[in-house]
Amino acid sequence: MAPHIELFLQTLIAGILLGGLYALIGLGMALILGVMRIINLAHGDQMMIAMYVAFFGYDLFHIDPYISIFIAAPVLFLLGVGLQKFLITPVLRVESILPHNQVILTVGIGMVLSNLATVFFTSDYRSTPVSYATTAWYLSDYWKDAPIELSLSLPWTVSFVFSVIISTLLWFFLGKTDTGRSIRATAQDLDAALLMGVNVQRMRMLTFGIGSALVGAAACLFIPIYYLYPALGKQFTNIAFVITILGGLGSVEGAIVGGVILGIFESMTSTYLGMGWAPAGRFIIFVLVLIFLPGGVASLIKKKRLAR
């Protein structure tokens, strides 16, 4: 019995921690997609750039990746604002038959970003082997006669905690500050916001910048647990999409809950069904949510609130 419980609990823990990280990766996209309805296929590549910032911070200046959040996030913010101002806005402004030009634009941006990284940084795999990379807390160290062994990895837990902190800060920002409310207003109804005097252009730039900064923070939290190479963007763009839809466009709470649900789901599928199927599960949830719960988890949360 004990091995089964151990397996289940360890899988659950892994899922929750993974979910926290996923949530942060998806949060940026959820914001951008929710506020601006822009599908950003370069999201993962932006994350890759932030990871390089963190990597060089570590490699050249011995800055711990977690500290690099304070460097990478602003850098990505500027990058995001720049992309929005110089590339995305011109595309959005033009009348075209299909409004999907911006998606192709982001494909082009992603291509340029990942190729420039290959040219300048080479395709060598990089990592930040910090000293605490494999440190973990073990249940048996604290409870001498534990029937099962559980381990809690230090870097994973730190990422989770940071994720929660950052998301909470974001939630406050969006809910309690004027700028935050203006952003939400732009998301809910563009014309109404304009009429209410919101500088919509500015809000959109700000949103893209914040969304990019979020993915920059996620990158720093992620690099100690993983590794880095120029082509890694694509899979994280996919994950971000799933979180965004699962959580509900533009919703911070939704993204967190969605992220954790996805993390747990993937972990459980990996253990009990086979890891090869886990990515399929990710997309199947995606489609199911699209069909049956288009507002994502956020709509469930709202329903509960209204019902009270």
Residues within window 169-198 making contact with other proteins, judged by CB under 8 A? none
Judged by CB under 8 A, the residue of 23, 33, 53, 203 near other proteins is 33
Instruction: Tell whether the torsion through CA atoms of 130, 133, 134 and 136 is positive or negative.
Output: positive
Site for other proteins in 61-120 (CB under 8 A): 87, 90-91, 94-98, 100-101, 103-105, 107-112, 114-116, 118-119
Q: Could you please report the per-residue DSSP string of 69-134?
A: HHHHHHHHHHHHHHHIIIIIHHHHHS--SSTTHHHHHHHHHHHHHHHHHHHHH-S--B----TTTT
For the record, the structure tokens of 88 come out as 């995305």
Choosing from 48, 232, 257, 260, the residue that interacts with other proteins (CB under 8 A) is 232
Shortest distance in whole angstroms from residue 168 CB to other proteins: 24
For residue 228, give the 3-state DSSP assignment: strand
Residue 39 engages other proteins in binding (rule: CB under 8 A): yes
Cβ atoms within 10 Å of 122's Cβ, excluding its own: 11
Query: What is the nearest approach in angstroms of other proteins to the Cβ of residue 174?
Result: 21
**Are residues 258 and 301 in contact, defined by beta-carbon separation less than 8 angstroms?**
no
- Assess 1 for contact with other proteins (CB under 8 A): no
Shortest distance in whole angstroms from residue 28 CB to other proteins:
16
Q: Does 56 bind other proteins (CB under 8 A)?
A: no
- If one asks whether residue 271 binds other proteins (CB under 8 A), the answer comes out as yes
Residue 219 to residue 160: CA distance in whole angstroms: 13
Question: Nearest distance from residue 205's CB to other proteins, in Å?
Answer: 17
The correct pick among 291, 304, 305, 308 for binding other proteins (CB under 8 A) is: 291
* 7 contacts other proteins (rule: CB under 8 A): yes
**Could you tell me the CA-to-CA distances from 208 to 42, 43, 75, 248 in Å, in that order?**
12, 11, 13, 17
Does residue 290 belong to the site contacting other proteins (CB under 8 A)?
A: yes
